[in-house]
């Protein structure tokens, strides 16, 4: 057997702290750093959204290529101990907004080209020798934005192994059928890929299918979600394909960056604490209540929510349960951005219940940390949840999670550290909240819950070791 120190081309469309729309950014950063610490040689590859994180020209030009009319420069830069390759193509990536959408939240109409070129460039990098040479053992693709690399890598000789990780099956990168023709001309796609057992999905071009069909191994981010995506209910029309590939599907639960999310050293919070001093949280709570215009009452339980405001996250269940939440004496503070209707309802709730409900709209990393440090409870009533990170951050911060038992939430929260419910309804959420508040009013029980969560190890080490074993499987796979 060869060395177990792998060269990994790690593809992502988001990377904390530079550009983040959700958990993928945190995972890309935390996992790739954990792999570096374990001695692997990692290149994180991402589009260069230069307008989203003002990066100057100090980076080293590794290599360049041309894909149809687009010139792609590969710039090498460092992020802490990570080596990052940014694919610079201003016409495609230097735009305001998020990686996927304009500042109003509308998807860019040419996302097929933007992420098609990204995938094609990744495949080119995987088989190309830049200076100094970097021939990967494994190409690790994450979610639909990088998935189109898989068929290009798969058709090349002497190729690296391909791992495709599903962080959320609900986002598939679907485009009208004409998009396949457009990209065929641009990227040199094989016409045979336009088939239901390849990239076609009911007449549409599906980027995620490129990963699901052509990768050597698939993984997802919790055992619970790995089971659920094989069902019609949560398979998003892909359960049949996933069942077909079930032997190649693995589950590895996400870790957290336990330096960045550490209440004992968190630079965003005023009063730092640890499992031996969880009562210090209360001082953070009073500060936050003032900051958000809530009644500054230390004995009122504060429930927080930090989330993309989309149906997946069950924000409507919280809104429906609001009268009950308030009648139980609790306060609610929500940080998030997303669907206009949820934002409108949250604004209205704040206006109707000043002092009891707060809503901060937007992405705000510092406030997310302050909410974790100040909250008594975290609400996460997701309809589905591949892994979920906030419940992990919460447990680390002694903020007790109240979660729906789905996907990774069911795998990571149990009766020793939080409260769970099954039915996706306001009533079931309220019943769990009622049980949580009974515990809140019994300080020894509450301390026990807090300390159990705070003392758990959520660091990336164990998960990175599991990815390493999976890379080992890929390395030893028979030549195709
Ligand atoms: P998802 O990836 O589905 O959005 P996760 O729980 O896996 O859900 O990860 C979400 C990540 O994004 C967490 O790190 C969370 O703190 C962060 N986040 C979500 N919304 C906001 C926000 N409005 N401001 C700051 N951070 C946010």
**Roughly how many angstroms between the first and final C-alpha of the chain, as a whole number?**
19
- Atom number of ligand 1 nearest to Cα 368: 25
Tell whether the model's pLDDT for residue 478 goes beyond 80.
Answer: no
How big is the chain, counted in residues? 480
If you write DSSP's letter for every residue of 353-388 in order, what string do you get?
Answer: STTTEEEEES--HHHHHHHHHH-SEEEE--S--SS-
Q: Which ranges in 165-291 belong to alpha helices (H)?
A: 178-187, 207-214, 223-228, 239-244, 281-291
Residue ranges around ligand 1 (CB below 6 Å): 22-23, 26, 306-308, 335-337, 363-365, 368, 387-390
Going from the Cα of 421 to the center of ligand 1, the distance in angstroms, rounded, reads 21
**Nearest 10 degrees: CA dihedral of 461, 467, 470, 475?**
-100
- Say how far apart CA 443 and CA 351 lie, in whole Å: 32
Question: What does the pLDDT read at residue 2?
Answer: 43
Split at pLDDT 50, 70, 90, the class of 477 is confident
Question: What does the pLDDT read at residue 50?
Answer: 83
Cα torsion 18, 19, 20, 23: sign? negative
Tell whether the model's pLDDT for residue 57 goes beyond 60.
Answer: no
Tokens of 9: 């081309």
Split at pLDDT 50, 70, 90, the class of 4 is confident
Split at pLDDT 50, 70, 90, the class of 479 is low
Omega before 17 within 30 of 0, i.e. cis: yes
Tokens of 249: 């599907």
| Test site for ligand 1: of 12, 13, 18, 22, most ligand atoms within 8 A of the Cβ | 22
Tell whether the model's pLDDT for residue 3 goes beyond 60.
Answer: no
Residue owning tokens 């892909």: 238
Question: What does the pLDDT read at residue 1?
Answer: 38
Per-residue pLDDT tens digits for 278-316: 999 999 999 999 999 999 999 999 999 999 999 999 999
- Say how far apart CA 307 and CA 326 lie, in whole Å: 20
Per-residue pLDDT tens digits for 233-259: 999 999 999 999 999 999 999 999 999
Residue with CA at minimum distance from ligand 1 atom 24:
363
Tokens of 397: 């911060």
If you write DSSP's letter for every residue of 292-304 in order, what string do you get?
Answer: TT----TTS-EEE
Please say whether the beta carbons of 89 and 71 come within 8 A: yes
pLDDT above 70: percentage of residues in the chain? 97
Residue with CA at minimum distance from ligand 1 atom 17:
22
Tell whether the model's pLDDT for residue 339 goes beyond 50.
Answer: yes
3-state secondary structure of 76: strand
- Element housing 154 (H / E): helix 149-154
Going from the Cα of 306 to the center of ligand 1, the distance in angstroms, rounded, reads 6
Count of Cβ atoms closer than 10 Å to residue 181 Cβ: 14
Question: What does the pLDDT read at residue 476?
Answer: 82
Q: What angle do CA 232, 391, 414 make, to 5 degrees?
A: 75
Give the burial class of 226: count Cβ atoms within 10 A of its Cβ; 0-12 exposed, 13-18 middle, 19 or more buried.
buried
Which is nearest to 147 in space by CA: 111, 120, 107, 113?
A: 120
Please say whether the beta carbons of 401 and 377 come within 8 A: yes
Tell whether the model's pLDDT for residue 171 goes beyond 80.
Answer: yes
Going from the Cα of 20 to the center of ligand 1, the distance in angstroms, rounded, reads 8
| Test site for ligand 1: of 24, 368, 458, most ligand atoms within 8 A of the Cβ | 368
3-state secondary structure of 126: helix
- Atom number of ligand 1 nearest to Cα 362: 23
């Amino acid at each position: 057997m060869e060395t177990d120190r792998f060269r990994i081309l790690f593809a992502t469309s988001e990377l904390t702290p530079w550009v983040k729309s959700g958990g993928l950014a945190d995972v890309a950063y935390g996992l790739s750093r954990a792999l570096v610490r374990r001695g692997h040689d990692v290149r994180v590859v991402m589009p260069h959204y230069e307008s989203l994180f003002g990066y100057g020209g100090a980076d080293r030009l590794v290599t360049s290529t041309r894909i149809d009319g687009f010139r792609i420069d590969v710039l090498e830069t460092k992020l802490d101990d990570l080596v990052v390759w940014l694919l610079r193509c201003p016409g495609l990536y230097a735009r305001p907004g998020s990686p996927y959408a304009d500042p109003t939240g509308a998807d860019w109409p040419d996302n097929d080209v933007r992420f098609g070129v990204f995938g094609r460039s990744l495949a080119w990098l995987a088989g190309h020798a830049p200076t100094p040479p970097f021939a990967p053992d494994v190409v690790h693709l994450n979610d639909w934005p990088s998935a189109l690399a898989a068929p290009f890598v798969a058709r090349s000789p002497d190729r690296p192994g391909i791992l495709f990780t599903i962080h959320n099956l609900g986002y598939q990168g679907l485009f009208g059928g004409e998009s396949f023709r457009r990209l065929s001309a641009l990227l040199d796609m094989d016409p045979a890929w336009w088939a239901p057992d390849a990239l076609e999905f009911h007449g549409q071009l599906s980027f995620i299918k490129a990963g699901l069909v052509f990768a050597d191994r698939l993984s997802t981010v919790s055992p619970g979600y790995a089971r659920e995506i094989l069902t019609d209910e949560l398979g998003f029309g892909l359960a049949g394909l996933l069942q077909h590939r079930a032997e190649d599907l693995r589950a590895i639960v996400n870790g957290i960056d336990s330096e960045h999310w550490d209440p004992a050293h968190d630079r965003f919070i005023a009063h730092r604490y640890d499992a031996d001093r969880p009562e210090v949280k209360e001082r953070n709570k009073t500060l936050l209540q003032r900051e958000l215009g809530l009644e500054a009452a230390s004995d009122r339980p504060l429930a927080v929510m930090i989330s993309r405001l989309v149906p997946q996250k069950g924000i409507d269940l919280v809104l429906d349960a609001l009268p009950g939440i308030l009648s139980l004496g609790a306060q609610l503070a929500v940080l998030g951005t997303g669907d206009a209707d949820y934002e409108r309802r949250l604004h209205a709730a704040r206006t109707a219940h000043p002092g009891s409900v707060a809503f901060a709209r937007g992405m705000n990393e510092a406030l997310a940390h302050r909410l974790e440090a100040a909250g008594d409870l975290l609400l996460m009533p997701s309809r589905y949840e591949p892994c979920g990170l906030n419940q992990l951050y919460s447990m680390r911060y002694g903020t007790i999670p109240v979660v729906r038992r789905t996907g990774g939430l069911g795998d990571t929260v149990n009766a020793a550290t939080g409260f769970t419910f099954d039915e996706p309804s306001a009533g079931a959420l309220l019943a769990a909240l009622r049980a949580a508040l009974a515990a809140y009013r019994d300080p020894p029980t509450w301390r026990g819950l807090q300390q159990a969560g705070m003392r758990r190890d959520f660091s990336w080490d164990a998960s990175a070791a599991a990815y390493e074993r999976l890379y080992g499987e890929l390395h030893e796979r028979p030549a195709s």
